[in-house]
Amino acid sequence: MNRSLFRRDALPLLLLFLALVAATTATDALLHRLELVWIGRYLGIPGTLLILLSMRYSLRKHGLIAQGEPRRLLRQHEALAWLGSLLVLVHAGIHFRAILPWLATAAMLVNILSGLTGKFLLPRARRHVEERRGRMAARGLSGDQMDAKLYWDALMLDAMANWRTVHVPIALAFAGLALAHVLSIFLYWSWR
C-alpha cells in the first residue's frame, strides 16, 4: 500500500479493529477472573440482537420502514454492529468444536473490516488524492504527468471502492451461517 495513504487514512480503521480485538480479550479475561465464563455462552444472544437492531438502517434505506433519519441510522448501524460483534466474539471464544459458527465468525470479521473501509478509508483517501491533484495542478503539471504520479493512489482507490461488493454479500453469508448455527443450537440444545 502507498505509504502516505496508509499513514494518513488507514490508521483509524486499524485502531477501531484493534480496539475490537483488545476489548474482546479484556472482556474474556475479566469473565475468567470473575469465574463467570459461562456468561460467554449466552452473550451470543444479545450480540445477535444488537447486530439485528443495527439493520434498521438497511430497512430504512430500502423503504421497508419509514421511521428514523438515515444518517443517524447509519451511525447506529456502525456502532451497534461493532458492539454486537464484540459480544459475539467473546461468545465465540469459548471453544472450537463446530465449523459452522466459526465460518459465521470469519464472515462477521470480514464485514467489520469492509464496513470500516467504506466508512473511513474511502472518503478520506479520495480527499487525500484530490488534495495532491490540486497541489500538482497548482505547480502546473499536465494531466498525464499527474496521472502517472497518482497511479498507485488511483489503483488503491479502485480497490477500496469495491468495499460494498464485499460488505453486502458477506453480510448475507453471515446471516445464513449464523442462522444455521442458532437453529442447530435450538434443535439439539447442545449448551453443555
**Which residues of the shown chain bind ligand HEM in the complex (CB under 6 A)?**
41, 44-45, 48, 51, 58, 61-62, 74, 77-78, 81-82, 85, 88, 91-92, 94-98, 101-102, 104-105, 108, 111-112, 115-116, 118-119, 167-168, 171, 174, 178, 181-182, 185, 190-192
Question: Least distance in Å: CB of 99 to ligand HEM?
Answer: 8
5 vs 108, beta carbon nearer ligand HEM: 108
Q: How many CB atoms lie within 10 A of CB 13?
A: 19
Shortest approach of ligand HEM to residue 133 CB, angstroms?
A: 25
67: cell is 421511521
User: Which grid cell sits at 37?
Assistant: 465464563
Closest separation in Å from C-beta 154 to ligand HEM: 22
Q: What share of the chain is helix, strand, coil (3-state, %, to 5)?
A: 85, 0, 15
What are the distances in angstroms from CA 56 to CA 44, 52, 68, 93, 175? 19, 8, 9, 27, 15
Residue 31 backbone class (left: φ over 0; alpha: ψ -120 to 50; beta: rest)? alpha
- Complex with ligand HEM: residue 35 or 191, whichever CB lies closer: 191
CB of 19 to ligand HEM, least distance (A): 11
